[in-house]
Amino acid sequence: MSRKHKSKAGYKSFQNTKTGTSPKLERAQSEQCYVVAKKIMLHYDLEPELVDVFTKRQKQSLFYFCYDQPDVKAKKERTVPRQYVRNINNATYQFLKTTYWGNPEHDITLMELATYGLSFLGNLSDMLGKDGFIPGTSQADAAQRIFEKFDEDYVLQTAFKEALENVWHETRRYSKVNFRMYGYEYDCITKEIYGGCRRNKLIIRLTAQDCEEKVFIYKNIKRKAYRLFMTAAGLRKPEAATVPRNQIFPDAQEDEKLNIYIQSHALQRFKMRMDVFSPADQNLMIQYAFSDGLQLTPFENGFLFACMIDEKLATGYFTFFVDNNDIVINTFIPIVSANTPEGKKLHEIHSLDHEEIVFLGMDKLSFLLKVDFEQIPKLKNALIHSTIWELKTAIDDMESEDKEQKSMIDLDKTKFVKGYFDKLKRKPKVKKL
């Protein structure tokens, strides 16, 4: 019993009574804070030696570690599956540890900024606010020079923008509009721990929004549709996805909105035709198409909702009908369809009906990867003329990012398609009356 008691007492003697950390760890944190502070001087176009002018006592305060690592958790228990939370947490940490703030040559990762960097800058701000420097001294002048460069709100809003965009992508990859959609909230919290000491932390709280269903009657058929939401994104509050009514009907008032719903049929067609993308990426693409990436494309006498990649290339289009104050997405058509801007140009050269497109597999995006178009120059030229070739090269580039990814060209598929187009060449298709 006495030996056990001495062990506990010995352990306590090595702890900092204010923070609960050992002097050795506290010293290591302070040293790392000093290293990062010098890097920050380079970021602000100041000389790194500027941090050396402070006295020993001032350095103890300036390099006190007071920002813990960012924290990713569900806002409410049992609303986000634990595996999703772990995956998003791991992806966020990896992004913070491998992405640089400002010039990469300064070697400041976002994780270093979120911990040691904000500790130093925050402590400097506090000391200036509490008259921690004697006016007229070199230390006061150095602190003022640094402080003039530092804007805490600006750093918190801009420095972690990329990291938060990454969280946006991660949450949307797990979201299903016909089940549950996820978002996140972002904040910085402060916790008093002992004797005026405090701990700060950047926090990301994952949110959940269950789907909403509504039944619509179209062409005398009842079908269920699911409402689309723009879930929470940092400081942006969640809200229903809408489209300005005057984008569809020019005479409508500017403040009128149309709610967006999507039917299961559209989701099924999208997943079938966007087969080169994983289910998670498909979830992301659907939500992006009706939120930040919303783009209405005029076609003939109406409009189509474009599903974009690289913010400029359409992979296909969603069709819709309007029911009072709601827009209902009822299907997804492939880019090679004659009912799309690109597909119309393609059909000016090769007039293929819907059955032929499905028969050849052209309605699936993987067609652009599986066929060796060098063996079918007639089809390649048609794809170039219709600008669909740009989409193919973009998808090729995406696939080549994985160095272990083998070529998806299917020789049997190529032979089959080549034979079909050779027959078209020998025997032109007769237009049906």
pLDDT per position in the chain (433 positions), as tens? 444 433 333 333 334 545 556 888 999 999 999 999 999 999 999 999 999 999 999 999 999 999 999 999 999 999 999 999 999 999 999 999 999 999 999 999 999 999 999 999 999 998 998 888 999 999 999 999 999 998 878 888 889 999 999 999 999 999 999 999 999 999 989 887 765 667 899 999 999 999 999 999 999 999 999 999 999 999 899 999 999 999 999 999 989 999 999 999 999 999 999 999 999 999 999 999 999 899 999 999 899 999 999 778 999 999 999 999 999 999 999 999 999 999 999 999 988 999 999 999 999 999 999 999 999 999 999 999 999 999 999 998 887 666 455 678 999 999 999 999 988 754 444 444 3
Q: Tell me the two tokens of residue 124.
A: 């400097």
The domain ranges of the chain are: 16-209, 212-334, 343-425
* pLDDT on residue 22: 80
Spell 323-362 as b/e; 16+ CB within 10 A means b: beebbbbbbbbbbbbbbbbbbebbbeebebeeeebeebbb
Residue holding tokens 């400097």?
124
The beta-strand segments (E) located in 246-378 are 257-263, 296-299, 302-309, 313-323, 326-334
In whole angstroms, what is the distance from residue 429 CA to residue 425 CA? 9
The answer to whether 47 and 41 are in contact (CB under 8 A) is yes
In whole angstroms, what is the distance from residue 256 CA to residue 272 CA? 34
The answer to whether 101 and 92 are in contact (CB under 8 A) is no
- Can you tell me whether residue 163 is helix, strand or coil? helix
pLDDT digits (tens, 9 = 90+) for 171-185: 999 999 999 999 999
- CA 3 from chain center: how many Å? 55
Q: Classify burial at 66, counting beta carbons within 10 Å of its beta carbon; exposed 0-12, middle 13-18, buried 19 or more.
A: buried
The beta-strand segments (E) located in 120-279 are 180-194, 197-210, 213-218, 221-227, 229-230, 233-234, 239-240, 242-244, 257-263
